[in-house]
Amino acid sequence: MQKPFFLILFVLFSCTAFFAKAQKSTETKNYSIIIDGFDWGPAVSKVILPLDESPENYKANDFEIFVTRSSTDGQIPPTQSYGKRSIILSYPSDAKGNRLEEGNHLTLVLAVAPNMPLGSPIQYMRVGNRGGNYWIDYQLQIIHQPSGTIWNNESERIRPIVDEFDLEGQFTHQSTTFSYASWIPEQVEGKVPLIIWLHGGGEGGTDPTIALMGNKAFNYASPEIQALFGGAAVLVPQAPTFWMQASEGMTRGQTNDIYNEALFALIDDFVKNNSSIDASRIYVGGCSNGGYMSLKLILEHPDYFAAGYISALAYNNEFVSDQQIKEIKNVPIWFVHSKDDQTTKPDETVVPLYKRLKEAGAKNVIFSYYNNVTDITGFFGGEDFHYNGHWSWIYSHANTARTDFDGSQVMMDGKPVTIMEWLAGQKN
């Protein structure tokens, strides 16, 4: 008569233990992510897990990470909506992912690549009547297989360099309001130059982190580039829509856009309200749509800017008059473009414009002209890996452009220079 009773107790105890473990495995636990910016855009590169015991007890191959990517703004292809992330390695860290000999957090380093859309927390989507890059709902589920522990609630996003920017900038001119990001170097004696970056057509809106991370524009505030300038302020305005918007449709220079007057007012106001900026060293650059707007500002205000740096120019040469060529021929400009750019075709934009400037006597106009846009890191195929030919801004952000139209090394004061080294040497 005793056996059934003890059997019932055993079953009850076993079930209780099982459900307790199941309850533990489904408990909501927090994790943090690090979003790094790469040549092709942002990617979630690390996951940080708070632990109740030593990280030494956890190994990278004991984890599995699954991602769900969704959005209420637009559609994401099914093959890019859900999947598994690959873990490369793990290490003990602090809550920010900094490596420590002993820490109470574990950082998992994830594989990223330009052909791994599951790694990206943004998506290019059509919303309304235009396409653009948007932050999406990016949810991870991290499973520790030996214990069944699950981390499934994001508590913090860390964006190196980007988080150092002031992201709350707002400026209104007449009926136009811009959002903008700005960065002012600290502990620099004397005045500093201003680097202005104007984003491409897919980064408009009201969140300047998209303008900073849609491509690697934040890199102008990196220690490597800042060292070339001895410190420089960085200003990244954001168009509410796109820089080439005209009163009707889109302009390539044939008609006026609706933003350049208000944008110049923003820039001028920012300079006047930041006494640390050297007004004789204001540099304006951008890509595609932003390349159009950079040239537009130079055409309208040729004496204001000390230099321009323009990639994937979207301003058609046929709409630049001979008089305008004469007015800007003394403005230092470095163009970057790729021969296989099918979006801003070089034979319609930058090639004839560069030649006209040189024929007019321009002595400080440079043009880095690439056959293709390739993997400059060497991690994903190097010269054999081709990005979209429109993405020539990669060479500007990474400061690797160094040759002129004829393929010769650009020299300044008898020394070879890159695009940012050259820019740092320009002054009104």
pTM: 0.92
**Confidence (pLDDT) at 26:** 55
In 3D, which of 238, 56, 252, 230 has the Cα closest to residue 132? 238
Strand partners, 170: 179
**Confidence (pLDDT) at 130:** 83
Residue 190 φ/ψ region, left for φ over 0, alpha for ψ in the -120 to 50 degree band, beta for the rest: left
In 3D, which of 240, 239, 200 has the Cα closest to residue 217? 200
Sites in the chain below the pLDDT cut of 50: 1-25
Domains assigned to the chain: 26-158 (2.60.40.2180), 162-424 (3.40.50.1820)
In 3D, which of 293, 300, 308 has the Cα closest to residue 195? 308
In 3D, which of 38, 57, 70, 50 has the Cα closest to residue 136? 70
Write out pLDDT tens, residues 156-185. 999 999 999 999 999 999 999 999 999 999
User: What is the CB neighbour count within 10 angstroms for residue 326?
Assistant: 14
What is the C-alpha R_g of the chain? 26
What residue ranges in 72-214 does DSSP mark as E strands?
Answer: 82-85, 87-93, 105-110, 122-127, 130-135, 137-144, 149-151, 153-158, 166-173, 176-183, 192-198
**Confidence (pLDDT) at 306:** 98
Q: Are 48 and 107 in contact (CB under 8 A)?
A: yes
Strand partners, 153: 30
DSSP-derived pairing of the beta strands 41-50 and 105-110: antiparallel
**Confidence (pLDDT) at 128:** 81
Q: How many residues does the chain have?
A: 428
